[in-house]
Amino acid sequence: MNEALVAEKVNKYFHEPEEFRVLQDISFSINRGEFVPIIGKSGCGKSTLLYLLSTLDTDYTGLITINGERVTGLSQNELAVFRNKHIGFVFQFHFLLPEFTALENVMLPAMKLGRWSKTEIEDRALQQLRQLEMEPFAHKISGKLSGGQQQRIAIARALINDPMIVMADEPTGNLDSGNTKLVFDIFSRLAHEKNIAVVAVTHDLDFAKHADRVIEMKDGHIISPNI
Ligand SMILES: Nc1ncnc2c1ncn2[C@@H]1O[C@H](COP(=O)(O)OP(=O)(O)OP(=O)(O)O)[C@@H](O)[C@H]1O
């Protein structure tokens, strides 16, 4: 099975301040090994869609399937377990703990999962940091590192549990062009070499234009071809 994510006729309404259909019959799929940015003008519904896809918001109609498992309808507890196992998050609100070291931050999701011993987790975390050229900073306090370095720690943390899909919200939002390119290269490599699906909401068209495929949204619809 190659499909990492399938959305079928997803609709989302906000009821305040008035009834508003923010996502309208969204259907698409993303395969493993694909890096797919979601682009579109401010307010078109990108973040709302990512929130649903990542199972953090369950108030929608339609069907979302991730890694062959229908996540629509799972309980909050089941979703929490599912997310930790299968989804890596690089979300802006998903901050690093600034007083913890880079290594401690990366280890945290694996400690929660309870699949490996502490030594194994530390090895895995160091390996992730190494792949992102962050191993020399493993024992530095995260809050004292640069924005680009912190973003790489967040990516290492997103990868520690071997997710099959990574979801990112404005992953290059606060980065200069050098770091933006770096994050782009990391995401492409993850998709192509590790067969992970990477979905990233972005305003950055430079970041998006070299990706495998772009999903473009307008007024709650997907308008890009080839979906
Ligand atoms: N909790 C909410 N209640 C009501 N309306 C909301 C809520 N959250 C978002 N909206 C509205 O839904 C629409 C889509 O918002 P969303 O944040 O998904 O857009 P976006 O494309 O991610 O925008 P941006 O690029 O600026 O982040 C906007 O019109 C927004 O005002």
Mean pLDDT of 109-116: 91
Mean pLDDT of 189-213: 89
Mean pLDDT of 37-56: 95
Which structural domains are found in the chain, ordered by start?
Answer: 34-46+74-222 (3.40.50.300)
Q: What is the ipTM of this complex?
A: 0.95
pLDDT at 182: 85
- Sign, CA torsion 184/65/160/45: positive
Q: Per residue in 27-36, pLDDT tens?
A: 999 999 999 9
* Ligand 1 pocket, mutate which of 41, 46, 207, 216 (most atoms under 8 A from CB): 46
pLDDT at 1: 61
8 A C-beta contact, residue 55 and residue 79: yes
- pLDDT beyond 70 at 204: yes
- pLDDT beyond 80 at 66: yes
Mean pLDDT of 67-76: 96
Q: What is the DSSP string of 12-53?
A: EEE-SSS-EEEEEEEEEEEETT-EEEEE-STTSSHHHHHHHH
Strands of the chain (E only): list them: 3-14, 20-31, 35-39, 61-66, 69-70, 87-90, 165-169, 197-201, 215-218, 221-222
Distance 43 CA to ligand 1 centre (A): 5
pLDDT at 225: 61
Distance CA 213, CA 29 (A): 11
Distance 205 CA to ligand 1 centre (A): 20
pLDDT band of residue 68 (cuts 50, 70, 90) is very high
Write the Ramachandran bin of 60: left for phi over 0, alpha for psi from -120 to 50, otherwise beta: beta
Q: Per residue in 4-19, pLDDT tens?
A: 999 999 999 999 889 9
Query: Which helix H or strand E contains 92, and what residues bound it?
Result: none
Distance 68 CA to ligand 1 centre (A): 29
Tokens 């390119």 label which residue? 181
pLDDT at 113: 87
Lining residues, ligand 1, CB within 6 Å: 14, 16, 22, 40, 42-48
pLDDT at 227: 47
Which residue has better confidence, 179 or 145?
A: 145
pLDDT at 90: 92
Mean pLDDT of 120-132: 95
Take residue 163 and report the two structure tokens written for it: 């997710």
| Lowest mean per-residue pLDDT among 39-43, 114-118, 127-131, 178-182 | 178-182
- pLDDT beyond 90 at 158: yes
pLDDT band of residue 70 (cuts 50, 70, 90) is very high
- pLDDT beyond 90 at 72: yes
8 A C-beta contact, residue 106 and residue 125: yes
Burial class (CB in 10 A: 0-12, 13-18, 19+), 25: middle
Average pLDDT of the residues of the chain: 92
pLDDT at 206: 81
Distance 220 CA to ligand 1 centre (A): 10
Protein residue with its CA nearest to atom 7 in ligand 1: 14
